[in-house]
Amino acid sequence: MMPRIPPSLYVAPSLDTAIDALAERGAEGAPLAGGTWIMRAPIRHESLRPAYVGLGRIPELTRIEIGDSHAAIGAGVTHVRLAEALADAPDLQVLAEAAGRSANPAVRRAATLGGNLCASDFAAADLVPALLCLDAEVEIRSRAGTERLALGKFLSIRQSLDPGQLLARVLIPRAPGRSAHARLPLRKAGDYPTAIVSLSVTSDAAGRVAQFRIAVGSVETVARRWTRLEAALAGAPLNAGIAHRLATELAGEFTGRDGVEAPGWYRVSVLPALVRRAVAALH
């Protein structure tokens, strides 16, 4: 038997050199940030790539900018730093909670925002529904320039990105409001959630609820907005009981994914309770 040849690693000093290196390596290369998903590939019976481009020394990818009208977060920001940076922002609390409660402490210290969004086979990613309910956009960098996409669009094409395209930043519009993140973890599954409900409520000038935005993760293979529930809650008071009743009526639109940790029907059945918990947390 031939000995296994370990992958090569090039540590990029800048974003431009990382993009060049990824473009030159083509399908054989892949970006490496925190490595929490990639390094467990053999456990999932997946092959490692022959070459990786390390992103950990690129300052641009670790910047966090919190302004009055928007927040810009580099793709290399860890979950721990993200939770700390957003701790005092009520409208972004959903993302702070998602980052601060994901997986376990060891993973949170290493895992990055970009890695969480790009792990297309990881249905239980906490940051994805949190960002969906915040109407986040992503910034993709390549040799051709910069492209901005709605997060939902990015999720649908992330597996088909060219090798030289790299997720660089996440951009979040800000508005007066509150947000919350509710998840049901299973300890035997490594603290990954069976189901996630992320919720954001914006207010008008008089302080009244102007818009609900709700996203569901881990139930289906890809997180998505729960637009029918958003529409049903429009104009309704901010009441956990009402939200639970409407979520119960509409939960049948989801087709839960079966897994070794939980069957699909169970993931769907817990959604109304998570909606109740998220709405109650807003008070």
Residues 141 and 14 in one domain: yes
- Name the residue with higher pLDDT: 64 or 187: 64
Residues 42 and 168 in one domain: yes
Among candidate residues 173, 192, 224, the one where a domain is terminated: 173
Residues 15 and 61 in one domain: yes
Please check whether residue 205 lies inside any domain of the structure: yes
- Chain segment 82-109, per-residue pLDDT in tens: 999 999 999 999 999 999 999 888 899 9
Average pLDDT rounded to a whole number, residues 57-84: 97
Residues 44 and 120 in one domain: yes
Q: What is the CA radius of gyration of the chain?
A: 19
Percentage with pLDDT > 90 across the chain: 80
pLDDT at 6: 62
Q: What is the mean pLDDT of the chain?
A: 92
Residues 143 and 66 in one domain: yes
User: Looking at residue 198, which CATH number applies to its domain?
Assistant: 3.30.390.50
Average pLDDT rounded to a whole number, residues 177-200: 88
Residues 23 and 108 in one domain: yes
pLDDT at 187: 67
Residues 108 and 245 in one domain: no
Amino acid letter, 149: L
Residues 39 and 165 in one domain: yes
- CA 262/CA 255 separation, integer angstroms: 13
Look at the chain and report how many structural domains it folds into. 2
Among candidate residues 117, 139, 173, the one where a domain is terminated: 173
User: Looking at residue 156, which CATH number applies to its domain?
Assistant: 3.30.465.10
- Chain segment 202-255, per-residue pLDDT in tens: 877 666 677 899 999 999 999 999 999 999 998 888 899 999 999 999 999 999
Residues 191 and 253 in one domain: yes
Among candidate residues 128, 153, 173, the one where a domain is terminated: 173
Q: Is the pLDDT of residue 80 over 80?
A: yes
The domain of 86 spans: 8-173
- CA 214/CA 188 separation, integer angstroms: 27
Please check whether residue 3 lies inside any domain of the structure: no
Greatest mean pLDDT among 46-55, 104-113, 165-174: 165-174
Q: Mapping DSSP to helix (H, G, I), strand (E, B) and coil, where does residue 108 land?
A: helix
Q: What is the pTM of this model?
A: 0.94
For the chain, the helix, strand and coil percentages under 3-state DSSP, each to the nearest 5: 40, 25, 35
Q: Which residues contact 13 (CB under 8 A, 6 or more apart)?
A: 57, 58
Residues 203 and 157 in one domain: no
Q: Which region among 171-175, 185-189, 277-281 has the lowest average model confidence (pLDDT)?
A: 185-189
pLDDT at 260: 84
Average pLDDT rounded to a whole number, residues 180-188: 86
Please check whether residue 248 lies inside any domain of the structure: yes
Residues 190 and 237 in one domain: yes
Own/partner long-range contacts of 228-231 (Cβ < 8 Å, ≥24 apart): 228/253, 229/275
Residues 13 and 27 in one domain: yes
pLDDT at 3: 45
